[in-house]
C-alpha cells in the first residue's frame, strides 16, 4: 500500500505505531465490524447472582481474608474526560439569542444555584471579575455573566477542566472534588495492610493539575482514615490512538479507507476511546483492581452502601478466584478422573456462565485442555443494576469464536438492531452496566496476565465525527469493559441502584446523593 509518504511514515513511527497497524485500521474503517451473536440478555434467573444474606456475609468475610493476606489491591479510575459535555446546556444558553433562563434545564440550574458545591467559589469569581457577587448578578438579570464566570478561562474554567477536579459535593470541611471522593472510597474499601493504592488515568493537559490537587488533599484523607494513600497517574498512550478517515462518497465501498489529513497535510490521529486503557491497566502491578468511572461518586453521607457492595463484589471475586485456582492446580497434577472433570465443567458453566453444547462429546484429554483454557484467564466481577432507563450497555450472554456462550457487557453499537429479536433483548433487558468492576489480573502461579491477549479485536466500532468543519470516520477500539475484556472470566452480581450515581450534566449534581448537607 503506497498511500503513506516518508513523512507520513515518520509521523506514524513517532507515535509508537507501525505502518502495518495503520493500514489495518484503515481496512477496519472501510469494512466495519461484525455484530455479535446473542443468546439472551442476562437476568437474575440467568447468570446474574443475587446473594442471600448468608452469602453476603460469606463474601464480605472472603474479602476481609483476602486483604489480610499478602495481596496488592488497586483502585483504577478512568479520569481523562473533560467536563465540557456536563455543561452542554449552559454553553447553548451562552450562544442563545435570549438572556434569561428559558428552558427547563436553565431554570432548574439558576433556581437551585446555591445548592451546587461550587457556588461559593463561583460567587468569589463573580466578585473578582464583575465587582458583585452571584446573587447580585442574578438580581440584575446578568445570567450569562454568571455562566461565563463558571465556564470560561477568565472564570473558574469549568468548561475545560476534567470532571475529576470540579467541586461536586459540600462537606463540613468545605467542597470536595470527585478525585477526593475516590480517595475516600479507596480508604474505605480498597486498603490492605494499612495502604490504599489509587491510580488515575488522566489526559496530558491535566496531569499537573491532578498531581497538584492530590498533593494538597491527600494528607487530609490519610489522617482521617488512618491509611497511607499511594496515588499514581498514567496517560493514554499515543500508540493506542487510531487514524481518522475521509467519509467515502455516496455508494462507494472502498477496500481501504482514505486517511483524513489536517490542513497542513499531516495525518489525523484521534484517541481510540476508553478501550485504549487496557494498556494502562496492563501496566498496573496488582492482584485485585477496582474499576469505577470518575463521576460515579456520592456525597459522604450516602457512601455506606457503595462501600458494602464494593467489598461484596471483591469477596465474590476472591471466592471465584480461589475455586478457579484450585481447579487449575488439580488439572496441572494430571490425576483428574472423569468425575473430577465433570465437577470442574459444572463450575465453568454454573459459576462462570460459560456454556458449551459439545462439552460432553470431548474425550478426557480434550476436556482437560478445554477446561484449562476457560479457567486460566483474567477474572472480573461486574456489578449490574436494575434497568431504569439510564444510558449504557448491558449484561448479555453472547457467542464466542469457539462456539461457546459466555457473559459479556455489550453496547448498543455491538448489537444488530435490525434484528427484531436482538433489539427486543436490548430494550427489554432487566439490567444495565454501571461500570462497577473488580478484576483479578494474575494467574494461579502469581504471574500477571498479558491483558492485551484477551481483547477481541472484532468488537470495535466506527463513529462519525468532524474536524475543522469536515466530516470524518473514527475508529473506536474495543471498549475497556466490553471487547477489551471479552475473553475474561465474567461474573455478574446485582447491586442496588443507589450505588450508581453518575454526573452527566451539571444538574445531576442536584440529585439527592450529590447533596452533601442535610436539607
Query: Strands 379-386 and 431-432, how do they pair?
Result: antiparallel
Number of Cβ within a 10 Å radius of residue 90: 22
Structure confidence at residue 337 (pLDDT):
92
Low-confidence ranges of the chain (pLDDT < 50): 519
| SS (HEC) of 21-61 | HHHHHHHHHHHCCCCCCEEEECECCEEEECCCHHHHHHHHH
pLDDT single digits (tens) 289-332 = 999 999 999 999 999 999 999 999 999 999 999 999 999 999 99
Q: Full-prediction pTM beyond 0.85?
A: yes
Q: Rounded to an integer, what distance in angstroms lies between the CA atom of residue 299 and that of residue 472?
A: 40
pLDDT single digits (tens) 338-366 = 999 999 999 999 999 999 999 889 999 99
Q: Rounded to an integer, what distance in angstroms lies between the CA atom of residue 12 and that of residue 22?
A: 8
Q: What nine digits make up the cell of 308?
A: 458494602
Structure confidence at residue 350 (pLDDT):
95
Structure confidence at residue 145 (pLDDT):
96
Structure confidence at residue 407 (pLDDT):
97
Q: What nine digits make up the cell of 338?
A: 472423569
The owner of cell 490425576 is 335
Q: Rounded to an integer, what distance in angstroms lies between the CA atom of residue 390 and that of residue 388?
A: 6
Q: Name the DSSP class of 81.
A: -
Structure confidence at residue 519 (pLDDT):
45
Structure confidence at residue 392 (pLDDT):
63
Structure confidence at residue 517 (pLDDT):
64
Q: 494: phi > 0 → left, psi -120 to 50 → alpha, else beta; which?
A: beta
Query: Strands 174-176 and 169-171, how do they pair?
Result: antiparallel
Amino acid at each position: 500500500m503506497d498511500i503513506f509518504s516518508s513523512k507520513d511514515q515518520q509521523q506514524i513511527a513517532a507515535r509508537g505505531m507501525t505502518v502495518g497497524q495503520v493500514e489495518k485500521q484503515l481496512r477496519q474503517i472501510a469494512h466495519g465490524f461484525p455484530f455479535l451473536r446473542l443468546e439472551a440478555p442476562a437476568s437474575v434467573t440467568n447468570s446474574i447472582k443475587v446473594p442471600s444474606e448468608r452469602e453476603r456475609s460469606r463474601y464480605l468475610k472472603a474479602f476481609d481474608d483476602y486483604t489480610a493476606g499478602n495481596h496488592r489491591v488497586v483502585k483504577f479510575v478512568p479520569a481523562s474526560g473533560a467536563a465540557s459535555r456536563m455543561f452542554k446546556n449552559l454553553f447553548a444558553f451562552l450562544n442563545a439569542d435570549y438572556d434569561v433562563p428559558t428552558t427547563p434545564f436553565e431554570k432548574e440550574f439558576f433556581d437551585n444555584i446555591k445548592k451546587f458545591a461550587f457556588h461559593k467559589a463561583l460567587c468569589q469569581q463573580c466578585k473578582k471579575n464583575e465587582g458583585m457577587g452571584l446573587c447580585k448578578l442574578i438580581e440584575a438579570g446578568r445570567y450569562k455573566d454568571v455562566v461565563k464566570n463558571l465556564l470560561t478561562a477568565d472564570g473558574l474554567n469549568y468548561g475545560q477542566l476534567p470532571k475529576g477536579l470540579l467541586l461536586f459535593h459540600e462537606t463540613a470541611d468545605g467542597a470536595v472534588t470527585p478525585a477526593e471522593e475516590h480517595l475516600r472510597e479507596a480508604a474505605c474499601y480498597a486498603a490492605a495492610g494499612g495502604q490504599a493504592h489509587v491510580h488515575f488515568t488522566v489526559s496530558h493537559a491535566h496531569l499537573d493539575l491532578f498531581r497538584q490537587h492530590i498533593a494538597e488533599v491527600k494528607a487530609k484523607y490519610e489522617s482521617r482514615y488512618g491509611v497511607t494513600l499511594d496515588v499514581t497517574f498514567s496517560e493514554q498512550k499515543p500508540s493506542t490512538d487510531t487514524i481518522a478517515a475521509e467519509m467515502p462518497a455516496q455508494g462507494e465501498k472502498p477496500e481501504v479507507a482514505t486517511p483524513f489529513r489536517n490542513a497542513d497535510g499531516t495525518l489525523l490521529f484521534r484517541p481510540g476511546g476508553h478501550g485504549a486503557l487496557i494498556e494502562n491497566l496492563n501496566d498496573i502491578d496488582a492482584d485485585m483492581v477496582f474499576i469505577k468511572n470518575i463521576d460515579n461518586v456520592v456525597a459522604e453521607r450516602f457512601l455506606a452502601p457503595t462501600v458494602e457492595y464494593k467489598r461484596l463484589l471483591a469477596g465474590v471475586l476472591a471466592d471465584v478466584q480461589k475455586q478457579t485456582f484450585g481447579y487449575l492446580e488439580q488439572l496441572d497434577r494430571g490425576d483428574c478422573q472423569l468425575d473430577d472433570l465433570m465437577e470442574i465443567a459444572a463450575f465453568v458453566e454454573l459459576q462462570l456462565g460459560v456454556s458449551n453444547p459439545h462439552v460432553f462429546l470431548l474425550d478426557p484429554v480434550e476436556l482437560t485442555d478445554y477446561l484449562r483454557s476457560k479457567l486460566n484467564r483474567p477474572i472480573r466481577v461486574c456489578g449490574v443494576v436494575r434497568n431504569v432507563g439510564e444510558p449504557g450497555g448491558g449484561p448479555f450472554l453472547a457467542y464466542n469464536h469457539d462456539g461457546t456462550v459466555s457473559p459479556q457487557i455489550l453496547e448498543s453499537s455491538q448489537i444488530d438492531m435490525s434484528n427484531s429479536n436482538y433489539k427486543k433483548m436490548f430494550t427489554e433487558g432487566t439490567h444495565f452496566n454501571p461500570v462497577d468492576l473488580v478484576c483479578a489480573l494474575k494467574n494461579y502461579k502469581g504471574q500477571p496476565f498479558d491483558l492485551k491477549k484477551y481483547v477481541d479485536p472484532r468488537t470495535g466500532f466506527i463513529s462519525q465525527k468532524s474536524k475543522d468543519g469536515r466530516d470524518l470516520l473514527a475508529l473506536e477500539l474495543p471498549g475497556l469493559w466490553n471487547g477489551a475484556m471479552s475473553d475474561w472470566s465474567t461474573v455478574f452480581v446485582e447491586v442496588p441502584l443507589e450505588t450508581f450515581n453518575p454526573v452527566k450534566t451539571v444538574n445531576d449534581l442536584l440529585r439527592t446523593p450529590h447533596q452533601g448537607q442535610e436539607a
